[in-house]
Amino acid sequence: MQKQASANNTRAVFAVLAGGVAILAIALRVRALGFSADPSLSASIDTIGAFLTFTFTANALVRFRGTRDLISLILAIGFGVVGLMQLALALQLFHNLDSALRVLDSLRPFWLQSSMLLAEAMLLASALERPFPYSAELRRTDLALMALVGTVAYAAGALYLLFSREPEVRALGPVMQPLELLPAFLYLLAASAFHQRLKTASSGLDKALALMAWMNVAAHVVHMVSAQVLDAPYTLAQILRVSSYAIVLGGTLLDNSRLFMQVRHLAISDPLTSLANYRHLIDVLESEIERSGRTGREFSVLLLDLDGLKGVNDRFGHLVGSRALQRLADVLRVHSRSVDTPARYGGDEFALVMPETGAPAARRVATRIRERLWSQTEQPKISVSVGVAVYPSSGVTAERLLMAADEALYAMKQDAQKRPRSVG
């Protein structure tokens, strides 16, 4: 096992080195093109980057608000600060397009600063566990964390601002910007950390962050060979960096959409049985009434009541009683059509909405449900009483349909008390 892990690590190191060499070779070929970007293009790319980071920040804060995901909070702060820096750089460049080369050359430390700050935020986020318990008292903790990260960001910015210009660093062969090795190394660490997280957490955001980190490694490797601002390697590095923001924003939006779908499912489903809850049942009934009013076709509603649930609870305990409710829910779920809507009406009562189904077919379904439930081998034996209502003969409103089904259900219970139970 240890030998295999060591071999895997060795292969990973060789893959990273080979990838770095390949990217460096491509960057050198790109530099030979002699391309020089327009200053307004560079400012526009930075503006797009700022917009993407602000959008990610908003989505990450929404995610943190709903899930207490501390990683989202750290990344929101990091991306927010970087977005402000990029917007400031873009505005400065737009304001001085006539002297763009001199301005961009003086702003190199800020470009490096924003990249390192974001890499540090990603490293901090990768070291945290995702779950974060919710409590009203944690608001002070949230503020303390935001203040801590903000202080670190401000301190890092203050240190960089001490330099009036980029530090003098001699070129090392084809590498014209050796300082780019530092953020490249930080992003490499972040990429490795998020790659490890993917073994236990496989969310869209984690995958996007891992890809973003690798893209920024490539961006800084490309930027290392930039001979001057606005040349081909500089522009390619800028595009790679902004594209990585789009990738992580896409991962966040994908995750948020999944979270919203889960929240919506929880809002319309019963927690014990996973069937539709009363609110969703009423929505479905009103929708069917509206549709049947247009088409002139009838539909049926079954109201089911689990017989003797109190006796089951008293004799076997509430866990067995809850299991009895789940058994009935499973029968409704498995033995109804995809267009039908099984729901928990409340307590030990369930409902089944069957579009385009008349009374004879509805009664056959009710008999089949009772037979399937009674034929189960799981103990204790359980049975249901069923009432049938049909639109429009039984009523033309959701309330009247449910009332009619309840009256039929009560009649069945009264009849069952007068004679021995028979299935079918």
As a whole number of angstroms, the longest Cα–Cα distance in the chain is 101
pLDDT tens per residue, range 402-413: 999 999 888 888
What secondary structure letter does DSSP report for 357?
-
- For residue 391, the model assigns a pLDDT of 92
CA distance 31 to 232: 6
pLDDT tens per residue, range 46-104: 889 889 999 989 888 887 877 777 788 888 888 888 888 888 888 877 777 777 667 67
pLDDT tens per residue, range 334-362: 888 889 999 998 888 999 999 999 999 99
Helix ranges restricted to H, 269-395: 278-295, 309-316, 318-334, 359-374
pLDDT tens per residue, range 297-348: 899 999 999 888 888 888 888 888 889 898 989 998 888 888 999 999 888 8
Q: Where residue 146 falls among pLDDT bands split at 50, 70, 90?
A: low
Q: Which residues face 237 on adjacent strands?
A: none
Cis-peptide, bond into residue 39, ω within 30° of zero: no
